Structures are given as C-alpha cells and as structure tokens.
Structure 1
C-alpha cells in the first residue's frame, strides 16, 4: 500500500511538472544546430556573444563564429597566427579582446594589433584551460587542470594562495566568476570545491559545510545579490546573506548534477544539468521537455543582446531559445474559420466539427456536440449573440442561441439553394445571407427564403465569400465569376477582370479603416479606393498588387488588419504581415515593391499553413486568430513586442578577382585591370536572422541605397578608376535598421592611359605631330612642284623627239601616196557633242622599249595591256576610240550622253594604272604610261567605206592629247575645264601647273592626286 502511495505521489509530481512546463516553455521556440546543421561536431564546450554581435562557440574543432545563418571555424593553421586547435573556454574582456582557452595548448589572447599565447612556459600551471574571468581591476584569472593564476594588465602572471588546510596543490578548476563586489569565485572538482578570493586568499564558504563532502559544479550571482550553487550530489543550494540554503525544486535539479547556471535579463534563472534544462521563473521551477534538449548535458547557458537564450551542450550541439510569437492550439483537424462571440468565446470551425475556446481553454457545449464530425466552412456571430455555422453538408446552415441552447437549421428541405454552405452573414434587418456552392439564399426573419441563381442574375452560383459594407451593400465573391453587388435583395452590379479586378476567383472581401475595399483573389489583390457604394454604380478605380510587387504569390486568401496598423496576409506561403501604409503605397503606385514579414517555425508557427477558405479574426483584445491545416495559431501583438535592439552589420570579406581581404581598417588599393570585386557581409540579429534585410550603396557607382533584400553579398565588375566607399546597413525582422552603415574604402588604381596627365601629354604630342606633318607636307609639295616643272620641260623635249620618230615611223610604214589616197576617199558621217571628256594615254619610252624586244613580244605585251583597258572601259561606260601604236584614246559622253562623264573618265584613268600594276606584276616587258584629260565640245563620225573607224576630233581632242604630252609618267594631267567640273567633289587635285602647250601657249593644268592604293 505504501509503495502504491509513493508511486501515486511521484506520478502527481510528474504531472504537476508537465503542467508547469506547458505554461512556460510553450512561450519559447527551440532551434538546434549540430554537425548536420553546419556546426563543427556535436559538442559545444563553451559559448559567448562578443561585442561585434557574433556568437562564438568553443568546440573540439576550434572556435566557431555564427551569425545566425552561417558558421565559420577558426583554428591553428600554417600562416594564420592562431595557436589553438580545440577550444574549451571563450571570454571577451572589457577591452573587446578575446581570450581563448584551449584543451591542451594554453591560452591565446586575440587582439587587433597583436596576438599573445600563454602556456606553462610562461607560468601557467597547466595547458588545459577550464575557466577564464576578468575582475573589476581588469586582471584576467585563468583556471586550469593544475591550478589557478591571474594576469595583471601588464600580462604578468601571479599565483593566488588558498587558505591553509583547504586544498592540496594543483586543484582542477571548473568555473570562475567575478561578483558585483569584485570578488572572484572559484569552483573545482575537489570535494568542498567552492572558494571566494578575499583578503588575498581563496577561502571556503563555512555555511556550505552542512552539506558534508559536497561537490560544486557551478555558481551564479542573481540580480538580488544571492548566489545559486549547483552541486554534483546535494541538489541546488542558494546562498543568501552568506547563509547556504538547500532548495528543493521538485524537479530534476534535486537529483541530477547541475552543470550551468545563468540569470537572464528578465530575471529568470536557467539551470543546465547533465540531463536537461530547468528554469526558475516567478517563484516556480519549470522543466523543459523539448525533445531536442530533454536529456542533453548542458555546458553553458548565455543570453544574447536581444534576450535569446543560447545553450551549449555536450552531445546535442548548440540551441537557441527564442520567445514564441505564436501560440498553437492543436485540434488535429484542418481549421477553416474562426469567430468571436459577444461573450468572448472563440469558435473554430474545422473539418470534423466546431471547437469552442474560453480564455484559451477548450469547452464542450451543445453546439460542439451537435456539429461533431461535420465539416464546418464558416462561423460568424449574429447581432444578438447567436452563432451562425455553415456546414458543408446537411444540416446546411445552423443558428445557435446560447441562452436557450436552441439550434435552428436550414437545408434544401427548407428551401435553401444548396446543402454545401460556404459562408453566412447577417443583414441589417436580421436576415441571413447564405452563400452555397449552388447559389445565394436570403433567409428572412419569418423563415421564408429567397434564392438567387443564374436565372435570377447570379451568373456564377458558387459563392466563396460575403461582405456587408456600412451602406448595407452585400458584396458577393464567387469562384470564377468575380464580385456581384446587392442592395435590398436586388443585384445591381457585377465586377470582373473586364472592369479591372485582379482575378475572378474571389477568396475574401474587406474594408480598411479609411473605407477602401480590398478584394483577395487567385490572381492578386485589388484595392478599390474612393468608392461610394450608396450610389448604385460600379467602382471606377481599381489598383492591383501582384507577386512581382513583393507579395511572393498571386493567391492571397485574406487580408486582416490589426490595431497597430499592420495588415496580415494568409496564402500558400503561410502568414505574413506588412504595414498597411506600405501596402497602400504600392497599390497607388507610390512605391514599387513591398517587403512582407513572413513567419515560420522559428516564430512558434509550427504548422503547414492556412487554407484558401481560412477566415482569420482580430478579437476584442487585439489578438489575431489564424485557422491552420492542423489547428489554430494565435498571435498577441501586445504580449509579443518586436525587438527594439538595433541589428549590427559586419563586412566579412572583400574578394578582388582571386585575392581575399579581411582587414578593412585601411584603404584597400585595387590594381589596374581589376575585373571583379565581391563583397560579403552579414547582419547580427538572432531573433529571426533569416529575415534580416540589407541595403547597400557604392558611392561613385550607385545613385542611392539598394532596395532592401536578403542577399548577403554583392559583386561589381570593371569599376572605373577612382575612390569608392561601400556602405551597408542591416534591417532586422521587425524593421529596425542598424545604427549606422558599415563602411569600407577602396581605391581602383588606373592604367597609365586612364590618368588625366597621360591624356594631356598625348594631346600635346598629337597637336605637335599634326603641325609637324603639315609643315613637312607643305614643304614636300613645294619641292615636288619644282621637280615637276623641270620634269615637264624634260618630258616635253623628249616628247618632241619621240613624236618626230613616230612620224618617221608612220611614213616608213605607209607610203605617202597610200596615205593621200586614203585621206581623199574619206566619207564622213558625223555629229557634234557639246560636252564630253577625252582621254589620251601614251606608253612612256615605248620606242626605246620596242627596240629591245621582238615585234611579236611587243605586240603580245601591247595586246595584254590594252585588253585590260578595253575591259575596264566596257565596265565603266567609256567609249574606246582607238589605239595608235602605244597610245590609247577613249572618251565619255559620246556617242551616248552622260552627265557624269568627267568623273567617270578620271576614275577610269585611275583604273588604268591599277590595270598597269596588275600587268607589270607578271609581265616580261614592263611599261609605264601617262594620261591626259580634257573636256569640251567635239565632232565625231565614221570615216571610210572599208576598214572604217569611228573617230573623234576637235580642239577638245587636241588639248587632251596635249595634256597627255604634258603629263609626267605615272600621272594624270587634266585641263582647267576638267578641274572646274570636279573641284568640289571628293577627287583631289594638285595646285595649278602652268604649262606652255604647243599651239596653245601658256595653259593652266592640274594633276590628279591618287591614293597609295590607286
């Protein structure tokens, strides 16, 4: 019997313990990181938050730094200056220096300017470090596996002494703390191992002697000045005014060794044990039974700057306790709608019936029993307090009077439009508007029912939602048919995408505090501002917000406004919130995008999310109730206040092409030709690190700060030379921005040709070069004119000699009598041309050349060259007149007229030189020619009856011939008439050349200037 009684008492104690747990730890969310989550191993020996905001974790693999998203490990390597491989203790002193106690490598002090290492060679009693603390005089005390020392500010080591008879030499330290009076407390693994340094000695606590050979595992001073002492074998002890008192908690603290004690900012005292976690809050002890930590050995407990609790464990990695923003009520069923009654009861419609909550506790009543196993799609409260329940099968629509317990139902048997009821609301006259999947029904107070279907103007009978506005207009949202408007039981309007609605599948309709209508659909949100529904007209203005404007989805199920001016949205992505002002600005087009705050498991929202039918509410106390697929989520904006602690921001690295920099105290110089700059940064806020947003700007490149986003790096390519300042700020999950932007300066150095002085020198050099070239060119032209004048005289003389030889040759070939007879028998068929251009070419020194070769060779060579001229003449529309030995005569403008004859003949002349070059490139007999051009009137005709030729004559022909005679070999000489015709074109001429032309006297002529490739 006694044994049974003991078991009953134990069971009762356990139940009380669980009840206590549920009232405290339900308000916390636990998040865990192990080796599977990026942590180096599963054992965390110590944990501390440094002033830069990072969480620093001691592990057997080194020091791990954590920003809430990513881990980075520091440990000894070849060239990083670190001397530790494993970390057992992590402490930041008052100067911001980091002290690392290693497992067997002494202590390393990490400072911005110089790192220092202390080992047994420097005076440590042992290289295995177990505890470190800084006292009020800035001395640093180090507890090791072989004793305790302290270092002065000058880093000299001293050995403190123990009270006589208390310990033997070489104690194994386990903990060091400095209390508010500046005294240093020490715990050791020895029996009676609790000491306080006073009057130059470590002394025991006499009041602890009552516990016999006690073993102390940790000690912590609370805000009241009392000391909590954890023991290995005597439970929990509290020292008040020097008197040690045993504390019986009724929890695992009474039987399991305490390994860590910490008092948080809110006054709660957290106890870590070898098998779980306990919290002392408001005079009660609460045991944590969260699965991740239930049996964990806890090495250290701390609080970060935002009040989150961090726990370092021996086998379960690192955990974070964050106050939950949501409280979950598990129903085990999908919740569809929530309503608050006039008496404060909260009614929840689920797929298996109706649930009722009173002050957060579930209540069973007549209505919950009646609706058991019935799928409830909507719940609402009538003006008189009755509860309206919409069922998705018979009994259809219910009305429950709480005072009498009477339940009235309507189905198709009573004339309802359908038994699958989606929604019901009360009209201003007490009538009920009931939306079903097969039409709308109006149930009057006398029990009569009026239905609206397709024949009654309701083209789409599937009613999704109903909303009655202040002007007694009922808005009817349908599944694919848009929105219908009804007043006094008469449909007067129909709104669809044709009018500007975002989508025709309408989930919910509501109004904000300024009267604007908000319509949630499967294709976005529609806002109808400035609409007066008292007039039977349709809205004219529609403002649409879709996923690309920041919603993340087009299917928003409901908008719910809280008392703080925030709008809460439910969708397939879960629950999110945004400022109502920001949402309206995006709808109006004032802003481009919104940045909703999404809530997740880390906020206590441990659910798969809401459904499209979910109807959420804001109750009389301002609490928000959200139906979820597995229960109900409740958010209390009064109890859950956003963190007002500003986040910190840190630039972690700068990668320039393949080189990485981590020291940003100085201006970083980028070598010329740098292709890519990658900047990595992070934000330090552990309430919801995944929701931290960043905004950045690179001065000289970006016009303004970027739109906030979650990216933690940015890249720039091909920056122009100059000085740049990179600035980045962080915004935490509650919209609080970091106090100031983190900055980094770097200089993009230029190539020599990218500097201003280089271009100044180049400009000066260029101008000097142009002037020099102009001068040399003018001088060359002058010299060339002098040379040409002499050459003309020489060539004129040579021409006369050659002409005389040609005449002798002609007379030698043709007897005078034959020539005279041929002349006398000429029959002329001729015509006159007012303006043509004639060309004469002549082979230079042809007589001399022909005398050096056989007649066959000369004829072959002349035929080859002149054939090339003939082909070009044909292509360019030039009329070949004749060849006279080595001379070639051609014209343009006859017998067919051509206004551009002068230009064509000049281009033809240039082409003849190209043909000459092509010929000479492979010919055995090399030739050179000269060409003369003139334009003017000519006569032309056919002479003779047999072997007749087409001939041209006149002064123009003669002058052309004289131009050829006056021309230099390899040149083109034209008359003033040709020059005047072409001087304003792109053809270039030399200056005027005065020539004494035989039979004409002194004439002004010009040479055509040809390019190098002509």
Structure 2
C-alpha cells in the first residue's frame, strides 16, 4: 500500500533556495509556453473528473485511494479517513477525548485483510474499523480500535507512525512504520472472540535511518514480502523465517537499482518488480537475478518520463502501465517490458504519453504532484494529487469529442457545430456559427471566415455543406447565401441571392444542400426549393451570375410544395426527392420535377399523418425500401408505404423511451441500426424494433459533446464513421467500435431510515443479517448505490419487496426506495443495479425484513384473547345458568309460599265453606263467615306481598323501607300500638337482590304480625342499622313476652328462622321488657 513520503527537499515541504526557485520558474514558463503554443490538440485526451467538485470531500491532499472488496472507495487524507460510494462522501475524523474515533487525522495507508476488515495507518497509530450495528437510534454503529507503540511493551508496534500496510498471503497484516516492520495476526478463539497478536520485525542493521514506504506481496512466491524503504533500498523478507535480503544502488552487481529512496512498488504478472524511486526514476527489477533497468526523465525527450520522482504505479486491463510522478503529472507506458533486456544496459528508453495539469483546461489534472495511483474494478484510474482526487475512465471511449481549445491555434473555430462533411480527400469540413473549418487527415485545422457581404446579416453561420463531383465544397450560410470554396486554393465563389436582372437566385438563408445521384444541386431555403442543373457546374471558370436556378414554391406550376419553408432534402434509393418543410412532407418525382405526394400533420386524426408539421430529418429504412423514418420537432415518425400510398404511421416520443421528442437528425450505420440525435442526447435503434423495447440511449456521461445536438448536423463518411454536431463541438465514432462498459457493478445499501430517521448506515448494513421493524414504524426507506464509478449518475436500479410487491420496480437513476403501511410479517428486500451502459448485476443483494406485529396481533396474545373470550363466555354461561337456577329457586319459593300460605288459607276457606253448606245455627254460621272473611283478606295480603317481592320496580332499599313502614302502620295502628323507626347508614337508592328484599320483608312482616296479634304491646321500636360490615334489623315491643304467645306463634317463628337462613342471616329472639326479634346479616 503506497504512502506519501515527506522528503526534505520536495518543493512543498521546504523553503526553496534561490537556485531551486529559479529552476522552478524556468520549468513553469516552459510548461506555460508549451500549453499555449502546442500544435496538436488531442481528439481524445484523458478527461479527469474532480472528486471534490462532485462530492463533500473537504481534504485537498490525498495520500492513498483504496477500493475494498465490497466496492467502496476509501481515501487516506490529511484530514482523516473518507468513504465514497459514487454519490456521497462520509468522513471519519479524530475527536479528542473520544477513544472510539480514529487515532489521528493524518491518514497515510489503508488495507483490507483476508477477513474483510479495514485497517488504517495514521501518524499516531494503527486503527481497525470495527462495525457493530447500533442497538438504539442515535448510537454509532462503528468504532475504531487503536494500536500504538508502547516503550514498555514489546508486544506493541515498534512505532506509532504508520507509513504502509500490506495483506500477507498467510493472512497476516504487515505494518510498515518509520522505525521498522511489524506483523499482526488475528486469532479467533473458541468463543468467537478475536485476539490480535503483534510481532516486531525490528532490525536496526536493516531499517536504521530509513523507514518502510511501500510493501507488496509477491504473487509468485507466497512466502515473500517486498518492502521499499527510504534510504535503505529494497528488501526481500521471507515470511517463514523472517530472513531479510537487501538490494541497494551500491550493490556490486552490474545493474543495481538507481536509488535507495523507494517510494512505490508494483509487481507485474511476469514477476518483475517495478520500483518508483525518489529522483532515481522508474526501475524494473528482476528478483531472479537482482538486476534492474531504469526509465529516466530526459528534458530533451518529450516521450521520456516527465519526472524522476515516482509516487504511484498502476497496471490496467489493456496492459498499459500508468506512472504517477511528483511534479510531472501522470505518464502512460503503453507497452511495458516483460523481461529485462540482455546485456549490461542499465537505462532504456520508453515512449511515455504525458497527462499534466492545465489551469485553462477543466478536464486536465488539477495538479502535477501526484501522490498515488489506483485503478478500480471498472477501469477508472484514481489519481491522488496535492489538490483533489482526479478520476479518469481508461476504457476505450465510445465517442470522440472534438471541441474548441481557446488556448491553441490548432483548434475548432467555434463550438456551435451545424454542418459536417468529409470530402473525397478525407478532409473534414465543419460549419459553425462563426465560419468554416477544415481539418486535414493529420489533424491540422484551417479556419475560414465567411464573407457574407452584408454587415447586417449573420452570414458567418454555415448551415449546410456539400461536395460536387469536381471536389469543390458548396456552402449554405444563413444570411450570406450560397458560396463555394476551392479546397486547393481556399478561394471563395459567391452566388448572388434573390432576383436580379431577370435571374432567380437562391435566398440568402440556406437551410440545406444536397447533390443528388444525377449530380444536380438542391438548395433548401425559407423561400422555397431551388435546383441547379449539373451541366452548369461543368464550367471550370464558373460565373455565378450566369447560373440558372429553378425555384419550386407552393404556387409554382412545377412545384406545388406544401410550404415554402424548406428545412431538409433527401434522395431515396429509387432516386425520388423528399422535401421536409415547416408544414409537412413532400415527395418529388425527379423525372418531371413535380410534387406527387403530400403528408401532413392532422391534429384531429394524428394516426393518419405526422406527429408534428415541422420536419427536421428524413431517412429511408436501410432494410426496407417501403419504410421511411422522419424526425420532427415533436416526435419520431415511421411511415410504411404500400406503393404510393401510406399504409401505416407510427409515432414515438419521450414516453416511448426517446431521450427527447425533438429529433435533430437520423443516420444509419453499416449494420442497419439507426442513430438519432435529439435535444437531450442520442439513441441507437434497431429499425425492426418497432415497439422500442431495446433502444440504447447515450448522454454526456458516455462522452457526447453535450445533451443538445443541432438539426441536420449528421454525416456518414465512406468508411462508415458517423459525425454529429452540437452546441459544444461534435462527436465522431465508428458504430461497430462503440464498446459498452461490461463491468458488473457491485450493489450496496448505503442507508436505512425509519420515519425519516437514519437507523443504519452503509457500514452497518454491510454486516447485519436482517432488519426488524416495529409495527408503529410503518414508513421506512432504503438508499442504495451501484459501485461502478464510470458514470455514477447514469447507474440504474430495480428493487422488489418480496412478500409485498408483485413485480420489480425500476427506479431508473433514483437511488432510494420507500414503503409505507406495510403489514406485519416477513419480507425480503431485493435490489439489483446496472451500470450506465445497462449491464445488470442480476444477483444483486437481498436482506430479510421482519415487521414485528403489535402485541395484540401476536400468537400468544391471540391465544390469551381466545382463552379470555372462552372464559368470558363460560362466565356468561355460568351467570345465565345461575340466573336460571335463581329463577327456578324463585319459582320454587313462590310455589312454596303459595302452597304454605295461600294453599293453607284456601284449604281453610274450603273447609269453612263445606261447614256452611251443612245446616248450622245462625251463631256458628256468623262465626264461619267471619273466619272466611279474615282468611280472604290475609290471602289478598299474602298475594300482594308475593307480587311486590318479585316486581323489579321495587328493588331499592328505599322501596323496602316504604313497604315496611306502610305495613307496620296498617297492622299496628288499628290496635293502638305506636311504632317508631330508627334507620342508620342505609342508601335508599341502592338496589337489593329480590331474594334479600323478599326475605327481609317477610321476616319483618312476621315479627310485626306477632306483635299485633299476640304481644299486647302498646309500643314498637324498629331499628335498621347498616354499619361495621353488618346489617341489623331489630323489632322490639313492650308487650307480654314471647312465652305467653308461644302457642300461637310457633309456626310464624319457624317461618322467620327459615327466611333468615335463606339470606345467610342469624335470627335471635329475646324476652326482656317485652320481646326483641333481631336479624343480623351481611351489610346491605
């Protein structure tokens, strides 16, 4: 792992001496002049994107770039550790007093061990990034475990200033410091705990006065680790016995390394070590022989190394070697050697292509002081400099982009390209807003100013180009009319415009030019269509004023055009001329130059005509002569003909997958595909794909000059190369060489939120096995990334919540998925992604989700609820049974009462009645009648009591007291017995069960009857008390006592005792100053 080395005499780490300062001034001036006066302007230089401009990266000095096995990019910076997912940067910095943060902000080295753990070397210790998903919101799901040097502990690092890290083949982590080398082993115990052991390889004789700058594991010999040092050369370390073999520039071998100050290392597939040194250039070292050869900087050779300070070495898939230098930018060696040359040659020449900073070029390197190089899995090169990280796509470009370089004489004259033509001599002609350019086959530009001969016109706008059979280039301008240039001399010929001296000339505003198969020149203008016969072009000394043009308009006898505003002209394979206008399409028969077909825009019936009246481009289908493709200002049209009749029309808009509905131009390639430019990108279409299911769209991320192209700016040369102009230059490409990015992107979840609050970040999501969601967090959201860094904003995504969604949801470039009101259950969130070229990672990722139900929806709660319901039902059933039994008991009691009281009385009445039927004397008759009368009254009262006792309207204590009072008064007042009531702590409104109410009342009634009939009393006191948990009813009279009345009251006393027992009461009768009858029962 490479690390920046501070050298005392580097320009950014010391005060420059006067001589050194002068040298740097001279170098700066030379570079400035070279940039200003450079002749060739590369059509396809590396284009560097700046990470700080596209993310929240705050550090400017980046020491190392590292890609982990999951695909994330990690940056070692002067201000801490940073993680990048293609869209956002997450920073990890040291916080004083917080031992869980990184130990120091100066991060110099990053490495991943065999278990996927990330190790970070800083200026003050080694750090292990430990990831433990947070258990609560607001907690961090990661922490840094620190390892430092301790003078009193030999099991610690030999020094805390970490300069390089490397993962060994044996699983150990090799740690290079400023005072030696260490190995760290991570052992997993039986209980799962991981224990780290540090082994020092501190050998002063080897590492004294020089520290470890870079290490690389030998991939041919797994037990060998190579270590570069600062001042002590190269070291070969055997991991088995820790034997060290040193290689130095002072070795007696004929071909030693050029410097002992080693900064970077790389081992080629053949086993050669490429060694980057400080001021010793680039060395190629053969481990088998110990010999090396060098590539060096040569100020007289522009193809040599740009600088002898080599800080980064990387190898790409095309077998190119990329070299990062400290002061000379980046250099590419396209064909690195695979074996050392024979002989004692110590220095060899190489052809290096240089890529350096240019403050006037926003796509150049930001800085030439390169700290590190890394090539990721999708072949993007990351260049760490003293100012930002630069990222360049090393894959072959899809489209070459040519634009104006305002700081070069050899460049395009203007970026607004309107017309392109390649002549038969392979010269490229480009018309734009300010004139005409010609680029020779070897890349030299010639700029021409168009003389429009009208100061008020915009004659410099070149709208159309065409080459005649004599090699002259005809130019259609906007305002300057029709012109012709002789490529051999650069002389212009100007054709008059308008009507002059009885001659008809084309209008000054030319929209399109075309030479047909008969070599006639067709000219489109806003005032109609013009034709120049080929015979007039044969005159070498052409007099433009003598030219005779035929004009076709809406009202001309030859024409009959649908509109005079002609926009484009096209000849099909049958020689028929198609004319696009601002109001539909016309077809002209070249034999009689008459319009024989109009196709219009029909707003009320669009299926019968064009999608828009403004036609911008026309192309006959390359595979079917009966099909034509028309571009318009709103939509792409596919016309199928049956003879001369349109038999079918299909319209395509952006809703069918076009990048935009404004069609600028249409060309076909040698494979029969259509290439269509729009106001928002370009697309490739197989014309047989009439449903637009497999179209491929391209945008600026693919290398287009911009999203906006210009109308009719397309051109296809004889070799099949296509050209399209736009507002930022033009693109040129061979369609069959357009290569897609085949890298399958890794997919990662970067954030998980519940109710808008972050629960897990990317690190935590990479370690958790599932996600549990409480029932009340019904809104949750995932953010994700596709870790292909070619064009991150063009990466596309699709997701599927298994168990809820019925189909995959394609979100395009949107990087989040949200769900709301998902019911409790088990689900699986599945995610897949594609790179910007549509290559999908179909495997994707999947993470189980468990939405916990509320407790009332759990199985145990449902079981309890079922049991509770069954219990309630059982209680209700039992209650109803009790009520039925109570009703049955009441019926029995009523029947018993009726039998005992009513039945007895009726029996007596029946006997007395039988006696009356016998002949008795008058006195006995009167006695019997009296008895029957009394029994009848008692019977009525008994029935009244029974009815009262079961009437629910009389169920309160107040009703009972009223009944008692009324009965006592009615029974005692006729006998001149005074009665008084003493009521205490009774709630009149409280309801009493019917059996309590009935039995209390009947006990009271029997007691009062005894007083009235047998006591001979003159006063009765009734006490009703409800206190101390007991109810007491006491009836006391001042009569003759119970003994005198015993004979007549025995039946009544038994009834009272029976009724007291029914309500769980206790009945007592006392004879003291009269009779006291007392009933005690539970509190009412």
Indicate the residue corresponding to 1:650 in structure 2.
Answer: 748
Task: List aligned pairs for 1:434-449, cutoff 5 A.
Answer: 434-447=523-536, 448-449=548-549
In 2: Cα distance, 1:708 partner to 1:580 partner: 25
Could you say which residue in structure 2 is the equivalent of 1:71? 89
* Correspondent of 2:355 among 261, 281, 288: 288
Match in the other structure for 1:193: 233
State whether residues 162 and 203 of structure 1, in contact with CA within 8 Å, keep that contact through their aligned partners in structure 2.
no
For 1:125 and 1:566, the matched residues in 2 are separated by 65
Could you say if the C-alpha distance between residues 702 and 769 of structure 1 is closer, same or farther in structure 2, counting changes exceeding 3 Å?
Answer: same
Q: Return the alpha-carbon distance in structure 2 between the equivalents of residues 254 and 351 of structure 1.
A: 39
Number of the residue aligned with 1:270: 322
Is the aligned partner of 1:361 residue 2:443?
yes
Offset from partner CA, 1:175-215 (integer Å, 9 cap, x none): 2222334432222333x433332570242335667789753
Q: Secondary structure at the match of 2:799?
A: strand
CA offset digits 1:671-710 (Å, max 9, x no partner): 2222201111110111111100001111222211113411
Q: Is the 8 A contact 1:60 1:85 kept in 2?
A: no
TM-aligned CA distance change 1:770 to 1:159, over 3 Å: closer
Are the aligned partners of 1:21 and 1:286 in contact in 2 as well (CA < 8 Å)? no
The equivalent of 1:1008 in structure 2 is: none
Q: Is the 8 A contact 2:562 2:585 kept in 1?
A: no
Provide the C-alpha distance between the structure 2 equivalents of 1:147 and 1:31, rounded to a whole number of angstroms.
37
Q: Distance in 2 between matches of 1:28 and 1:245?
A: 28
Which aligned pairs between 1:685-696 and structure 2 lie closer than 5 A?
685-696=788-799
Say yes or no: does 1:724 pair with 2:827: yes
Aligned equivalent of 1:123, options 156, 159, 166: 156
In the superposition, relative to structure 1, how do residues 366 and 98 fare at CA in structure 2: closer, same or farther (>3 Å)?
closer
Q: Which moved more, 1:271-280 or 1:704-713?
A: 271-280
Residues 537-552 of structure 1: matches in 2 within 5 Å?
537=645, 539-552=646-659
1:450-849 matches, cutoff 5 A: 450-456=550-556, 457-479=560-582, 481-488=583-590, 489-491=593-595, 492-498=597-603, 499-515=608-624, 516-528=627-639, 530-532=640-642, 534-535=643-644, 537=645, 539-563=646-670, 567-573=674-680, 575-580=681-686, 584-586=690-692, 597-600=697-700, 602-605=701-704, 607=705, 610-657=708-755, 658=757, 660-661=759-760, 662-663=764-765, 665-754=768-857
- Tell me, in whole angstroms, the C-alpha distance in 2 between the residues paired with 1:196 and 1:112: 38
Partner of 1:297: 369
Closer, same or farther: CA 142–765 of 1 in aligned 2, 3 Å: closer
**When the two structures are aligned, how many residues end up with a matched partner?**
763
Q: Decide whether aligned partners of structure 1 residues 582 and 128 sit closer, same or farther in structure 2, where only a CA change above 3 A counts.
A: farther
Cα 1:511/1:15, change in 2 over 3 Å = farther
Conservation of the 8 A alpha-carbon contact between 1:366 and 1:405: no
Flag the 1:493–1:129 CA change in 2: closer, same or farther, 3 A.
same
Q: C-alpha separation between the residues in 1 aligned to 2:392 and 2:306? A: 25
Q: 279, 282, 297: which one pairs with 2:332?
A: 279
Counterpart-to-counterpart distance in 2, 1:212 and 1:707: 57
Cα distance, 1:128 vs structure 2: 1.4
For 1:750 and 1:211, locate their aligned partners in 2 and report how far apart those are by CA, in whole Å.
Answer: 70
Is 1:235–1:248's contact at 8 Å kept on the other side of the alignment? yes
Structure 1's unaligned 5+ residue stretches are 1-6, 791-1014
1:308 to 364, 377, 380: 380
The change in CA–CA distance for 1:511 and 1:422 in structure 2 (over 3 A counts) is: same
Of 439-448 and 370-379, the range deviating more from structure 2: 370-379
Measured at CA, do residues 540 and 773 of structure 1 come closer, stay the same or move farther in structure 2, by a change above 3 Å? farther
- In 2, the alpha carbon distance for the partners of 1:325 and 1:669 equals 45
Once residues 720 and 634 of structure 2 are traced to their aligned partners in structure 1, the CA distance between those partners, rounded to angstroms, is: 30
| C-alpha RMSD of the superposition | 4.4
**Cα separation, 1, equivalents of 2:828 and 2:230:** 54
The reply to whether residue 96 of structure 1 matches residue 116 of structure 2 is yes
User: Per the alignment, in what secondary structure is the counterpart of residue 720 of structure 1?
Assistant: coil
The match for 2:63 among 45, 57, 64 is 45
CA distance in 1, matches of 2:566, 2:752: 58
Residues 207 and 43 of structure 1, relative CA distance in 2, 3 Å threshold: same
**How far 1:743 moved relative to its partner?**
0.7
Change (3 A) 1:701 1:111: closer
Shift of 1:107: 3.6
1:427 paired residue number: 516
The 2-side partners of 1:67 and 1:343 are apart by: 49
Contact 1:274 1:295 survives alignment (8 Å)? no
**Deviations 1:224-257, CA, capped at 9 Å, x for gaps:** 4333333333344333542233433425857553
Q: 1:383 to 1:748 in 2, by over 3 A?
A: farther
SS for the counterpart of 1:361 is coil
On the 8 A contact 2:432/2:461 being kept in 1, the answer is yes
In structure 2, the partner of 1:972 is: none
Distance 1:289 1:401, change over 3 A: closer
Instruction: After superposition, give the CA deviation of every residue in 1:979-1014 in whole Å (9 maximum; x if it has no partner).
Output: xxxxxxxxxxxxxxxxxxxxxxxxxxxxxxxxxxxx
The answer to whether the 8 A contact 1:502-1:523 is kept is yes
CA distance in 2, matches of 1:478, 1:270: 54
- Give the Å deviation of 1:131: 0.4
1:468-501 deviations in whole A, cap 9, x for unaligned? 223433222223x122222232123232244432
Question: In 1, distance between residues paired with 2:849 and 2:377?
Answer: 32
Match of 1:391 among 477, 480, 487: 477
Distance 1:347 1:197, change over 3 A: same
Distance 2:58 2:398 in 1: 30
8 Å CA contact 1:84, 1:108 repeated in 2? no
TM-score by length of 1: 0.67
Q: Is the 8 Å Cα contact of residues 597 and 691 (structure 1) preserved in structure 2?
A: no
In structure 2, do the counterparts of structure 1 residues 349 and 23 end up closer, same or farther at CA, with 3 Å as the change threshold? closer
Distance 1:325 1:289, change over 3 A: farther
User: What are the residue-to-residue correspondences of 1:168-317 with 2, within 5 Å?
Assistant: 168=208, 171-182=210-221, 183-190=224-231, 192-197=232-237, 200-205=243-248, 214-240=260-286, 241-250=289-298, 253=305, 257-275=309-327, 276-282=329-335, 283-291=350-358, 293=365, 295-317=367-389
Q: Secondary structure at the match of 1:585?
A: coil
Q: Tell me the equivalent position of 1:999.
A: none
After alignment, is 311-320 or 697-706 more displaced? 311-320
Q: Distance in 2 between matches of 1:35 and 1:505?
A: 41
Post-superposition shift, 1:712?
Answer: 0.8
Match of 1:870 in 2: none
Deviation, 1:732, is 0.8
Q: 1:406 to 1:354 in 2, by over 3 A?
A: closer
Q: Distance in 2 between matches of 1:302 and 1:212?
A: 24
CA distance in 1, matches of 2:553, 2:121: 79
Q: Tell me the residue number matched to 1:970.
A: none
Deviation of the 1:466 alpha carbon: 1.4
Conserved 8 A contact 2:465-2:474: yes
Q: 1: CA distance between counterparts of 2:661 and 2:878?
A: 72
The reply on whether 1:105 has 2:148 as its aligned counterpart is no
Residue pair 1:517, 1:527 contacting (<8 A) in 2 also: yes
How many Å apart are 1:85 and its aligned residue?
4.2
Q: TM-score, normalised by structure 2?
A: 0.63
| Structure 2: runs of 5 or more not aligned | 1-24, 134-142, 188-195, 336-349, 359-363, 405-411, 537-547, 895-1084
Contact 1:506 1:520 in 2 (8 A): yes
Partners of 1:340 and 1:44 in 2: how far apart?
46
1:509 and 1:774 map into 2 onto residues whose CA distance is: 92
1:332 correspondence with 2:413: yes
Say if 1:359 and 1:205 are closer, same or farther in 2 by CA, change over 3 A: same
In the superposition, relative to structure 1, how do residues 512 and 79 fare at CA in structure 2: closer, same or farther (>3 Å)?
farther
* 1:27 match: 45
Kindly tell me: are residues 274 and 238 of structure 1, through their superposed partners in 2, closer, same or farther at Cα, counting changes over 3 Å? Answer: same
